[in-house]
Amino acid sequence: MIDYLKGLFSKDMWSRMINIAQKEVKACLRNGWVIAIFSIFVLLSVFVSYFGAAVGNGDWGGYEQTIVYLVAYMEYMGAVLGIVLGFGAVVQEREDGSLELLMSYPLDRGEVIGGKFLGLWAVLSLCVAGGLAVGGVVIAFTVEHMIWSEYYLFILSSVLMGGVFLSLSLLCSTYFTSNNSSMAGSVFFFFLFNILWLFLMYFVAELSFGWDALTTDKPTPTWYFALQLINPVVVWYSLLATNLTALRDYMAIELGGTRAAEHPEFYQTWGLLALLVIWIAVPLLLAEYIINKKAL
């Protein structure tokens, strides 16, 4: 373990990982599919930003709605981007044979996973930050009360949330031996955290304290809020809901000031950001463990 931690601070290791990351970025930027997805993402961001803001004719209500639309859009698109970039990263190279060649060089398998993640995350960050930045400029031109500090947090947390799905799909790409299985595994995580989770938590609520407590003044137990943090999408959403004034106000108005707009005290910004980082790190460590055990 100590050797492992020492390795994390080795200059050579970082230089090899950055080399692999650069290779990933180069390959992505020459991949027509990635360029197409990036373009669609930016266009959609602009579309959502412009029309979201336009709904309120440039007043404060318009800004709130725009942020809500953008959050809803990012909830799916961030995850989709992470999956698209990550699901084939290892398995495709294994199928092509280039992974075998790379592993014959003096480098650790974990460095390959780390390097791939860094490179693909850089591409994802470029897409997300680029798309949302362009969207932010559109909003700033349309409304008067743009709160940039909150918007930066929105961009940062979205980059982290996309990173979680990238990390999960890299795990699938390492675990499975075919591209299709890896894609299926990644899509499973998407459905689990974006759709199934909601039903699962309603089910848990119904069995324990009655789901109506979520929308009425009945107290919701703290453990329920803690349990929600198992889902990285909820972590991300809670981070935004506790920090974005526009989103908080919108939820309070739309949900009639009910408990659904409230969060327990332990939902702290740094804690939630750290949880997203942990959600990135754990699948990567698992992927490293698997690739070290697996024959190429």
Residues near other proteins (CB under 8 A) = 12, 15-16, 19-20, 22-23, 26-27, 30-31, 96-98, 100-108, 295-296
Instruction: Closer to other proteins by CB, 102 or 282: give it.
Output: 102
Q: How long, in residues, is the chain?
A: 296
Smallest distance from the beta carbon of 108 to other proteins, in angstroms? Answer: 8
Element (H, E) at 13: helix 11-29
Tell me the two tokens of residue 27: 């390959």
Smallest distance from the beta carbon of 110 to other proteins, in angstroms? Answer: 12
Handedness of CA 55, 58, 59, 63 (dihedral sign): positive
CB 181 within 8 A of CB 279: no
Smallest distance from the beta carbon of 38 to other proteins, in angstroms? Answer: 16
Smallest distance from the beta carbon of 92 to other proteins, in angstroms? Answer: 11
Instruction: Closer to other proteins by CB, 103 or 134: give it.
Output: 103
Instruction: Closer to other proteins by CB, 88 or 283: give it.
Output: 88
CB 83 within 8 A of CB 190: yes
Instruction: Closer to other proteins by CB, 100 or 144: give it.
Output: 100
Instruction: Closer to other proteins by CB, 64 or 288: give it.
Output: 288
Smallest distance from the beta carbon of 99 to other proteins, in angstroms? Answer: 8
Helix (H, G, I), strand (E, B) or coil at 90: coil
Smallest distance from the beta carbon of 119 to other proteins, in angstroms? Answer: 12
Smallest distance from the beta carbon of 229 to other proteins, in angstroms? Answer: 39
Cα–Cα distances (Å) from 252 to 133, 259, 261, 281, in that order, read 26, 9, 6, 34
Cα–Cα distances (Å) from 20 to 17, 24, 93, 146, 228, in that order, read 5, 6, 13, 39, 35
Nearest 10 degrees: CA dihedral of 131, 139, 247, 204?
A: -30
Which among 19, 185, 168 is positioned nearest to 160, based on CA atoms? 168
| Cα-to-chain-centroid distance, residue 66 | 20
> d(Cα 211, Cα 254) in Å, to the nearest integer?
19
> d(Cα 194, Cα 197) in Å, to the nearest integer?
6
Instruction: Closer to other proteins by CB, 64 or 111: give it.
Output: 111
Q: What is the DSSP letter of 220?
A: P
Instruction: Closer to other proteins by CB, 16 or 248: give it.
Output: 16
| Cα-to-chain-centroid distance, residue 8 | 24
CB 157 within 8 A of CB 276: yes
Smallest distance from the beta carbon of 32 to other proteins, in angstroms? Answer: 10
Instruction: Closer to other proteins by CB, 68 or 85: give it.
Output: 85
